Amino acid sequence: MVANSPVNPFTEQAQEWVTQQRNFFALGYTRDLDYRQRRLQDLRQAIVEHEGRICEALALDLGKSPFESYVTEIGLCLSEIDCALKQLPRWMKPTSVGLPPTFWPAKAQVRPEPLGVVLILGAWNYPIQVSIAPLVAAIAAGNCAIVKPSEVAPHTSRAIADLIKRAFDPMYVTAVEGGPSVSQALLAQRFDHIFFTGGPVVAKVVLANAVQHLTPVTLELGGKSPCIVEPDVDLQVAARRIAWGKFLNAGQTCLAPDYLLVHESVKAPLMRWLAQSVQEFYGADPSSSPDYGRIVNAYHTERLGNLVRSARVLFGGDVSIEHRYVAPTVVDQVDWDHPIMQEEIFGPILPVLTYRDLDGAIAAVNARPKPLAVYLFSNNKTSQDCVLRETSSGGCCINDVIMQGGATALPFGGVGASGMGRYHGKAGFDQLSNPKSIMRRPLWPDIKLRYAPFADKLAIVRKLMG
């Protein structure tokens, strides 16, 4: 995406897409509970019917197994839909709020209302999940939506476009495929909300365009999420869970532990358990495992290969640009200034650093931008409370990794450099709704205390408002 491009052949078409949806939104259908529920059911049915096509596309783009495709993409989207279908009547219900005596006899409530037309810009690493889950929130909240899947995962982009075309009238929800020029044309339009999942570089472009129309945004980014390992845990279980979370989707997961901060007394045994876990998961040669994914393209494979070569490999390290393969890799002898520690890795490379005391580990985490997640393996309640209290992140998980991102009841999102805004479950509904404040007052009684002249009234007001 490039801001302020002088000529864009897609601009006129983008204007037509947005105008068409604004006209449909003005008809008022999307405000009805029944309409929203029926459209969510249509989406659910389309996903179920397209499951085979989706799995095939994910295998082509990212080498995902059917199991991983369902657990991390299809199943999560179905859970989001089922949650919304069940809870939507309660979410839409106006909430009464109390008022102080000075407002008597008024009544007040907060009523969620749709925003209008939402733009959803998806990412390539979990292309189904990060396009469909925000769409579920947009539909539940009563909006129209334009979905732009990532062109970096072309097979899945086509599958998403076909699925949405099957489920919806384009006046209501449409999917638009294409490259940066299409994204640029869309971002030049006035939307009522923009929902972006991706990296910080493009996020700045999204923000720069959104500010032209004062459009609110949700940015789901990433960052270097630390994983702290204390010496009081079962290292075998910790290693198994860390290896699962780090090498899921070949490490291309925004919530993956980006680096390990291991107490120096347990580094050696933890490394042995990590190596054993990888072999248990993927065999002696992960490149031949049907359960281990591939890097999305040659560019990112080469980028990751350069990072591998910049550090000391403890195990793994194999790279094939031709086959878009990077082995599950653990490296050490890196410090905070090492290139591998300067940006989110977004691949199956796990650097290991050590610390002597938990306070030092926390200080190291806090010296860097706020991550999307902080992970801690410890059975000590005091240590758990210390990390929860003294670090700031989008979310936190104790004695596991990534799992918090799959719970519809937990708001998902970042803080600071790792993003802004929340979704999943009710958080997504709230994010894409306007909580309209409403007050109702009768014309009688009309107490004159608030009207001028104000002589001798201040003392009375102080008493009432104090």
Catalytically annotated residue among 220, 227, 230, 397: 220
The pLDDT of residue 4 is 54
Q: Is 2 inside a domain boundary?
A: no
CB 102 within 8 A of CB 325: no
Q: Give me the helix-helix angle, 129-140 and 75-92, nearest 10°.
A: 20
CB 286 within 8 A of CB 329: no
* CA-wise closest residue to 302 among 318, 324, 317: 324
Give Cα separations from 217 to 114, 210, 359, 420 (angstroms): 15, 7, 35, 8
Same domain, yes or no, for 386 and 297? yes
The pLDDT of residue 347 is 98
The pLDDT of residue 466 is 77
d(CA 444, CA 439): 15
Give Cα separations from 398 to 61, 355, 428 (angstroms): 32, 18, 24
Catalytically annotated residue among 83, 227, 254, 397: 254
Same domain, yes or no, for 336 and 356? yes
Same domain, yes or no, for 366 and 268? yes
Domain span holding position 338: 226-406
Q: Is 465 inside a domain boundary?
A: no
The pLDDT of residue 465 is 87
Same domain, yes or no, for 215 and 231? no
Same domain, yes or no, for 232 and 116? no
Residue in the structure block whose two tokens are 């290292």 = 235
d(CA 398, CA 379): 9
Same domain, yes or no, for 216 and 232? no
Look up 220 and say whether it is catalytic. yes
Q: What angle do CA 360, 402, 376 make, to 5 degrees?
A: 25
Give the predicted TM-score (pTM) of the model. 0.95
Residue 376 makes CB contacts below 8 A (sequence gap 6+) with 227, 228, 230, 383, 384, 387, 396, 397, 398, 399
Q: Is 318 inside a domain boundary?
A: yes
Same domain, yes or no, for 15 and 55? yes
Q: Is 424 inside a domain boundary?
A: yes
CA atoms within 13 A of residue 113's CA, in its CB half-sphere: 10
Q: Is 181 inside a domain boundary?
A: yes
Same domain, yes or no, for 134 and 108? yes
Q: Is 161 inside a domain boundary?
A: yes
Same domain, yes or no, for 145 and 269? no
In this structure, which amino acid lies at residue 322? E
Segment (H or E) for 183: helix 180-187
The pLDDT of residue 464 is 87
* CA-wise closest residue to 108 among 436, 448, 455, 456: 436
Same domain, yes or no, for 173 and 123? yes
The CATH code of the domain that includes 423 is: 3.40.605.10
Phi and psi (nearest 5°) for 376?
Answer: -135, 130
The CATH code of the domain that includes 366 is: 3.40.309.10
Segment (H or E) for 388: helix 381-390
d(CA 92, CA 113): 8
Q: Is 464 inside a domain boundary?
A: no
Total tally of structural domains belonging to the chain: 2
* CA-wise closest residue to 61 among 149, 175, 156, 130: 156
What tokens were used for 79?
A: 């859970």
In 3-state terms, what secondary structure has residue 127? Answer: coil
Same domain, yes or no, for 134 and 15? yes
Segment (H or E) for 66: helix 66-69
The pLDDT of residue 1 is 47
Same domain, yes or no, for 198 and 127? yes
d(CA 126, CA 118): 20
Q: Is 98 inside a domain boundary?
A: yes
* pLDDT by position in tens, the chain (length 466): 445 546 899 999 999 999 999 999 999 999 999 999 999 999 999 999 999 999 999 999 999 999 999 999 999 999 999 999 999 999 999 999 999 988 999 999 999 999 999 999 999 999 999 999 999 999 999 999 999 999 999 999 999 999 999 999 999 999 999 999 999 999 999 999 999 999 999 999 999 999 999 999 999 999 999 999 999 999 999 999 999 999 999 999 999 999 999 999 999 999 999 999 999 999 999 999 999 999 999 999 999 999 999 999 999 999 999 999 999 999 999 999 999 999 999 999 999 999 999 999 999 999 999 999 999 999 999 999 999 999 999 999 999 999 999 999 999 999 999 999 999 999 999 999 999 999 999 999 998 999 999 998 999 998 888 7
